[in-house]
Amino acid sequence: MIKIKTAEEIELLRESALIVSKTLGMIASEIKPGVTTLHLDKLAEEFIRDHGAEPGFLGLYDFPNTLCMSPNAQVVHGIPNDKPLENGDIISVDCGSLKNGFYGDHAYTFEVGEVDEEVKKLLKVTKESLYLGIRELRAGNRVGDVGFAIQNYTESFGYGVVRELVGHGLGRKMHEDPEMPNYGRRGRGKKLKNGMVVAIEPMINMGTHRINQLRDGWTILTADGKPSAHFEHDIAIINGKPELLSTFKYIYEALGIESDEEEEFRQ
């Protein structure tokens, strides 16, 4: 069942989302060759608690850490470890928070040092597809319109759209209805309405869309070993239009990137 949020609930969701946004901004300034994902995980946990929230993933479905850290061919749900990041890696960082009973949940794929042009393009296209999907989050549209926009764009580059993992409604639970696949058909699926809050999160592989899972029961990786990217935002539908609750601005401040990509999603 889809839970429609009140204006007050949406403000609480925004608060939780912003804690994740700031955490990812802090992480952005710490990512460099030689740093371990476990070290970054500890920094994130401390940062979230210092901001009066709890890590949203730690213990959720028994996940052991604060961040999902998925380098290179890992798609999502990678477990932080003591292996140092290397120059040329990419690292997808997914972070959750819980404050006032509401969850925040978003993700960004970072470059470590100098990354190949081909991989940079995968990151660029995946992030662009996130915004194409968000643009379809209008009252009266359907879930399939969002998935179609993401799939149509990313497949035009020959990339693979992961099928088994999808975006989702967000609220007092990390994963609420509706499921928001990154693939779909125009005009199909549940109708989008004012007051819905969702996480849109394209997981896009450079090669095949097929994935495998490691024996740790968590880590998802591409079947062909090629890199994968993951970007995620939290969005509310307000006045019929998508409004971003999360922001990448803290990441961009840390990395010295100028961007106006979020402006059309502010009301």
CA distances from 45 to 20, 79, 91, 101 (A): 11, 14, 18, 18
User: 113: left (phi > 0), else alpha (psi -120 to 50), else beta?
Assistant: left
Give the three-state DSSP class for 254: helix
Q: Least distance (Å) from Mg ion to the CB of residue 118?
A: 25
In degrees rounded to 5, what are phi and psi of residue 99? -145, 140
Q: Nearer to Mg ion by C-beta: 90 or 107?
A: 107
Question: Which residues contact Mg ion by CB under 5 A?
Answer: 94, 105, 107, 199, 201, 232
Listed in order, strand segments (DSSP E) in the chain are 54-55, 67-71, 74-76, 90-99, 102-111, 160-161, 167-169, 176-180, 197-200, 203-205, 211-213, 220-222, 228-230, 233-238, 241-244
Q: Nearer to Mg ion by C-beta: 107 or 204?
A: 107
Q: Are strands 160-161 and 90-99 parallel, antiparallel or unpaired?
A: unpaired
Q: Nearer to Mg ion by C-beta: 250 or 258?
A: 250
Question: Alpha-carbon distance 201 to 216, whole Å?
Answer: 23
Q: Nearer to Mg ion by C-beta: 31 or 69?
A: 69
Q: Least distance (Å) from Mg ion to the CB of residue 106?
A: 6
Q: Least distance (Å) from Mg ion to the CB of residue 158?
A: 25
Q: Nearer to Mg ion by C-beta: 132 or 199?
A: 199
Q: Nearer to Mg ion by C-beta: 179 or 224?
A: 179
Question: Alpha-carbon distance 226 to 212, whole Å?
Answer: 12
Q: Least distance (Å) from Mg ion to the CB of residue 6?
A: 22
Q: Nearer to Mg ion by C-beta: 89 or 232?
A: 232
Q: Least distance (Å) from Mg ion to the CB of residue 17?
A: 11
Question: Alpha-carbon distance 223 to 160, whole Å?
Answer: 11
Q: Least distance (Å) from Mg ion to the CB of residue 70?
A: 11
Q: Least distance (Å) from Mg ion to the CB of residue 114?
A: 27
Instruction: Look at the block and give the residue holding tokens 């194409």.
Output: 132
